[in-house]
Structure 1
């Protein structure tokens, strides 16, 4: 546990590298502000005891000589405004130093928070696909925003306050001892009780804040899922269900924070009682000592001021420790992300991506579950087209996940080679830049259609963008929009139909101009006629590229050079369209079924006409 906590603060220290000068300036300003704030009670003491009254000046010798040279006690009595001006000057300088302290702490806090956010986002970009699948998006966002903000607030307002508190307590107690030892020890006797209840609440608050912080992440995830899936929610009339789901999680979140509020109420209430009781005891004891002649009135007033400087910082220590506890929890949650292992880069290697692609006895399972792929072997020559047919869960998409190294094959579970090179020896970035992938549910950014198509080549001309859009059979539809290619796509492409999103994604992949292209059921949302049109344009444009086409439609696959049929994670059939039709296997059954459906649909249309 101690090692984990050390790792949290080490992470904060690493993010603070280079910004230490701001903390040093803030520390110097804090010391200056404290010194000037402690001078004001001394001026009050001198005024009451040695100017209004006739006690000897309790000042260093050089100051006493300076006063005597300026007229001494009588001169000050005639010009009390000088003492008032000195008090105002001390307050002004203390204010200036406090300004410098806050300016430098905020400068440091914002700089550290920016670096922290940059580091987190950069690290998340390099984390494997499997990590993203295991972690909720809402929770990741909450950590990178709310938790970073918690740390920023601690650095901006609490960390230097902790240093200030320690200095105030030490200096106040030293000066109190010089005024009256007995009263100082009496004031100090209350400190262990304050420290004890502060530490107790600090521990309880830290544990409860962790639970509440995790609940906030879950609440964010619920809201994020609802907003990103708004089309499904609306289509199936799930608004009431989603509202109830959010309310339940919101109730949990609210109740946890109410419990935290109750704990803080007890903490502050008990703290107010102890500090008020301590102040009353010191006040009564000071009056008793003054009446007994053991202390002057000015010294008593100064002692009372220093006592407040002692008790309230200690009292405030609870809030500081509470914020420190919250920051520790937040740093721990951030450190969990930073501790996740990144995808390891590999040295560059010459690879012929236009060469043969081979799957050799590939077996794969997700997280130790039942294998999705079982001893799969096949090859596709460079420039060839491979069609893949299979039911849901047969492992079609998994093949492409392995090809792009979104997941890695274990060394004893086969291998995949491109141009004779094992893909585990190819750097992932290089591999993915050379394999264009279009998914069944493509993701579009909240930008213009042109920016989405040109995402892989931002500098391409409008003519090149339109050329790829025409191949994807979406150019005319884009031009029909009021803003054409400058139409802003809604979040996740929600302003476009499913077929339009797929075709824009196809155009984006074509723009990448990769030697290997994968179409993972990416024509499922378009009609058969558009499918045929796009396929014809694709085959004419891809030239010598190696193409994988995954589809449920045999009409989409039938012109491929080679076709695989997957069943329960195994290759049950493979060959050309003609060979598979003659084999009278699963492929032939699906082919006959789809032909029958298409014939019935055609007859229905003729009858309607």
Structure 2
């Protein structure tokens, strides 16, 4: 595996996504350096004009160039015209380099950030379900948006500026030392001081940026949770509580940025002082040398131009370093996601027929924060049968199906689950999940049309096939009542539909999958008993030969199953048919007696076997 793909340091992450656009980055950097060279030509032209065109000094140019331009007999007017033309030429070349450098920088920037976003999104899709449940959505979004933008700005702007500034300082110092060593040493002596205090503030600023970034993640999470649960907030009159909760986090976020602003203000104020001292010292020494004949007036002007052009980028290097501290935090936050381990695939993948018996063999499993949830459970779901699971809250019903779908993997020594005798850990997750259709108690619908939601598992399905699945799920009639029918847009998380309608749309979506194994995880809880019976009758007619697993707290939903498993406290309490469990007089019979009433008995008779 490429070491840059996972793990590694910050440089490895940047290199991974910058490498495809490295030629753009290198080209932009080269042009930026050429721009510096052409800019450096202007002070030399001014120096020559002052000393040799206006003044009496001989031209400090190669003899062939002096002869070519006939500078030895140069008139003042012609000399000024040549100087103006040279300055114009240098400006044009500098402008062309600057133009091309910015274009290539923009292309490099967009290619880099696209690759980074694609890599993040692709990696997040492959992370285990347990990773997603352990991390807040708002924080993940914040890392994938604002943190990515900070990294983009660092790589394609700040990093280029660091290289350009370093080249400019070295290049200008070489030119300055060639003119006067004494003044150059004075100018150079202040640079370590400027760099030193910049690095000092860099270490301070990094900690403040980390705290501010984490506060921003918390703020994003608060907003995301509030918008997602807007109906709950309204229903319980929690608007003021949510406003106060947001205000607390927003105030903390504001306070952190104010503290960061104070630190940055101190940095800029001290930087201005040091920079001013440097320019003043170089000016005094330069004047002294000029008066004493150590340098000419033209050299002094050129020297001050180079010093001013050099000291401010070095001064701004502190700003770049402060931004780099923020980028370092953002890189760590993005790297945390990219370093998370993806769901491992089987060493020797097997894709067996899925219309086979499902066997849970001494299965034990527990969530990290809850301890053991299911304990030494064994049972068999015959192929093509309807198997029901009944149990109280926390008894492990949904956990068993999460294990079957490999949303969680069994730990070592936790037993095994097989389909047709093949351990599901040997079956690729994509193949397994493609052949297991699941409808959850709280189904998720996308902010798209109802038709698009139903076709999510088969995007190329026709409208007739959509209507057939909707009819089986008893939602087709509800669509007729909507003005736009199947073209009705579903609000975010399905808020425009009732709970029962959302569940029935989710059932239709799963039926479109045509999976040989179908799991209904309490997915009829939001529909009335009559609709429940109608859906079950339609499913029996529509899905003959499929293995159906029903999880419900409603006895009428389960009692016609071929086999019923009753869980209690994470263990198998009872197993058998409805008649067998009724005869035993155990937990199942007690639940039956509590739930059953005359209305349920009528529905049972109407929804019974045809």
- State the TM-score, normalized to the length of structure 1: 0.95
Distance 1:503 1:7, change over 3 A: same
In structure 1, the residue matched to 2:530 is 529
> Is 1:112 aligned to 2:112, yes or no?
yes
Mapped to 1, the partners of 2:290 and 2:568 lie a distance apart of 97
Report the Cα offset of residue 31 of structure 1: 2.0
Partner SS for 2:237: coil
Partner SS for 2:20: coil
In structure 2, the residue matched to 1:66 is 68
In structure 2, the residue matched to 1:84 is 84
State which drifts further: 482-491 or 4-13: 4-13
Distance 1:599 1:396, change over 3 A: closer
Q: Residue deviations 1:262-317, cap 9 Å, x none?
A: 11111111111111111112112211221222221111100000111221121111
Mapped to 2, the partners of 1:89 and 1:206 lie a distance apart of 43
> Is 1:240 aligned to 2:244, yes or no?
no
In structure 2, the residue matched to 1:585 is 586
Q: Residue deviations 1:475-498, cap 9 Å, x none?
A: 011121111101111111111111
Report the Cα offset of residue 600 of structure 1: 12
In structure 2, the residue matched to 1:339 is 339
In structure 2, the residue matched to 1:195 is 195
- State the TM-score, normalized to the length of structure 2: 0.95
Distance 1:172 1:599, change over 3 A: closer
In structure 2, the residue matched to 1:499 is 500
Mapped to 1, the partners of 2:508 and 2:25 lie a distance apart of 52
In structure 2, the residue matched to 1:254 is 254
> Is 1:172 aligned to 2:178, yes or no?
no
Mapped to 2, the partners of 1:61 and 1:447 lie a distance apart of 77
State which drifts further: 431-440 or 573-582: 573-582
Report the Cα offset of residue 508 of structure 1: 0.3
Mapped to 2, the partners of 1:561 and 1:389 lie a distance apart of 13
In structure 1, the residue matched to 2:418 is 417
> Is 1:103 aligned to 2:103, yes or no?
yes
Mapped to 2, the partners of 1:391 and 1:528 lie a distance apart of 19
Report the Cα offset of residue 161 of structure 1: 0.9
Mapped to 1, the partners of 2:360 and 2:170 lie a distance apart of 72
CA RMSD of aligned residues (A): 1.8
Query: 2:25 touches 2:156 (CA, 8 Å); kept in 1?
Result: no
In structure 1, the residue matched to 2:608 is none
Distance 1:168 1:5, change over 3 A: farther
Match of 1:30 among 23, 29, 32: 32
Partner SS for 1:97: helix
Mapped to 2, the partners of 1:214 and 1:344 lie a distance apart of 30
Report the Cα offset of residue 353 of structure 1: 1.2
Residue ranges of structure 1 left out of the alignment (5+ in a row):
603-609
In structure 2, the residue matched to 1:514 is 515
Report the Cα offset of residue 212 of structure 1: 1.3
State which drifts further: 291-300 or 382-391: 291-300
State which drifts further: 592-601 or 412-421: 592-601
Query: 1:51 touches 1:77 (CA, 8 Å); kept in 2?
Result: no
In structure 1, the residue matched to 2:267 is 267
Distance 1:513 1:6, change over 3 A: closer
Report the Cα offset of residue 27 of structure 1: 2.1
In structure 2, the residue matched to 1:405 is 406
Q: Residue deviations 1:426-482, cap 9 Å, x none?
A: 111111111000000000111110010011111111110000100111101112111
Report the Cα offset of residue 74 of structure 1: 3.4
In structure 1, the residue matched to 2:18 is 16
Report the Cα offset of residue 601 of structure 1: 13
In structure 1, the residue matched to 2:577 is 576
Report the Cα offset of residue 47 of structure 1: 0.9
Mapped to 1, the partners of 2:220 and 2:526 lie a distance apart of 31
| Corresponding residue pairs, total | 598
Report the Cα offset of residue 176 of structure 1: 1.1
Mapped to 2, the partners of 1:162 and 1:374 lie a distance apart of 60
Report the Cα offset of residue 368 of structure 1: 6.5
Partner SS for 2:520: strand
Report the Cα offset of residue 78 of structure 1: 4.2
Mapped to 1, the partners of 2:339 and 2:133 lie a distance apart of 17
Report the Cα offset of residue 323 of structure 1: 2.0
> Is 1:432 aligned to 2:427, yes or no?
no
Q: Residue deviations 1:201-251, cap 9 Å, x none?
A: 111112221221111111111111111111111111111111111111111
- Counting only pairs closer than 5 Å after superposition, residues 117-128 of structure 1 correspond to structure 2 as 117-128=117-128
State which drifts further: 492-501 or 96-105: 96-105
Query: 2:53 touches 2:79 (CA, 8 Å); kept in 1?
Result: no
Partner SS for 1:572: strand
Partner SS for 1:454: helix
> Is 1:302 aligned to 2:302, yes or no?
yes
Distance 1:289 1:601, change over 3 A: farther
- Counting only pairs closer than 5 Å after superposition, residues 210-225 of structure 1 correspond to structure 2 as 210-225=210-225
In structure 1, the residue matched to 2:54 is 52
> Is 1:483 aligned to 2:484, yes or no?
yes
Distance 1:43 1:5, change over 3 A: farther
Partner SS for 1:34: helix
Query: 1:187 touches 1:278 (CA, 8 Å); kept in 2?
Result: yes
Mapped to 1, the partners of 2:476 and 2:600 lie a distance apart of 30
Query: 1:102 touches 1:156 (CA, 8 Å); kept in 2?
Result: no
In structure 1, the residue matched to 2:155 is 155
Mapped to 2, the partners of 1:5 and 1:564 lie a distance apart of 45
Report the Cα offset of residue 75 of structure 1: 2.8
Q: Residue deviations 1:385-435, cap 9 Å, x none?
A: 111111111111001000101011123111111111111111111111110
Mapped to 2, the partners of 1:387 and 1:5 lie a distance apart of 44
In structure 2, the residue matched to 1:606 is none
Query: 2:355 touches 2:546 (CA, 8 Å); kept in 1?
Result: yes
Report the Cα offset of residue 5 of structure 1: 10
In structure 1, the residue matched to 2:550 is 549
- Counting only pairs closer than 5 Å after superposition, residues 321-332 of structure 1 correspond to structure 2 as 321-332=321-332
Residue ranges of structure 2 left out of the alignment (5+ in a row):
604-610
Distance 1:599 1:106, change over 3 A: closer
Query: 2:351 touches 2:428 (CA, 8 Å); kept in 1?
Result: no
